[in-house]
């Protein structure tokens, strides 16, 4: 196994261990730093994985910070994702809500939605609570 292959496998292993989350390059680097993978190698490998359709890149609203989410996980491919614009956390929309949403879209527009490529953006419960606490003290 070549060095570049080892770097790629370390990144993929990290994503496989955390399939439902999005991570910045720096978060990935922090988690695999003991393996000696450089930040530039992470960027190179993520670009290739994105091109192959194995990871999806998104940008946190209001910043230029990119986050990457693993798409090779079977569970991820069948769900619509919800991503918090405050903290970047990604969660799955449950099966019943996903089906209801997709059925509504198809009934009203005759349009087929790619579940694995769909992300709904909003504010997660934890960030909404934090925002309410901060506004109370203003």
**Residuewise pLDDT in 10s, the chain (138 residues):** 445 688 999 999 999 888 777 889 999 999 998 898 999 999 999 999 999 888 888 877 677 888 888 876 555 666 788 888 887 777 888 888 888 888 888 888 878 888 777 888 889 889 898 877 776 655
Between the alpha carbon of residue 14 and those of residues 5, 75, 102, 132, the distances in Å are 14, 16, 31, 34
Reduce the DSSP state of residue 42 to 3 states and report it. helix
User: What is the Cα gyration radius of the chain?
Assistant: 17
CATH code assigned to 3-136: 1.10.10.10
From CA 113, how far away is CA 128, in angstroms rounded?
A: 28
What's the whole-model pTM score?
A: 0.62
């Amino acid at each position: 196994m070549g060095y570049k292959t080892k770097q790629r496998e370390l990144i993929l292993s990290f994503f496989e261990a955390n399939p439902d989350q999005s991570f910045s390059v720096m978060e990935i680097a922090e988690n695999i730093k003991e393996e000696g993978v450089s930040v530039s190698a992470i960027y190179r490998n993520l670009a290739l994985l994105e091109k192959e359709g194995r990871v999806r890149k998104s940008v946190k609203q209001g910043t230029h910070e990119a986050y990457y989410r693993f798409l090779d996980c079977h569970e991820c491919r069948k769900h619509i994702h919800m991503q918090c614009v405050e903290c970047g956390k990604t969660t799955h929309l449950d099966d019943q809500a996903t089906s209801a949403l997709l059925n509504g879209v198809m009934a009203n527009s005759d349009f087929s939605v790619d579940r694995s490529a769909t992300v709904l953006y909003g504010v997660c419960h934890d960030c909404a609570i934090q925002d309410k606490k901060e506004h109370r003290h203003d």
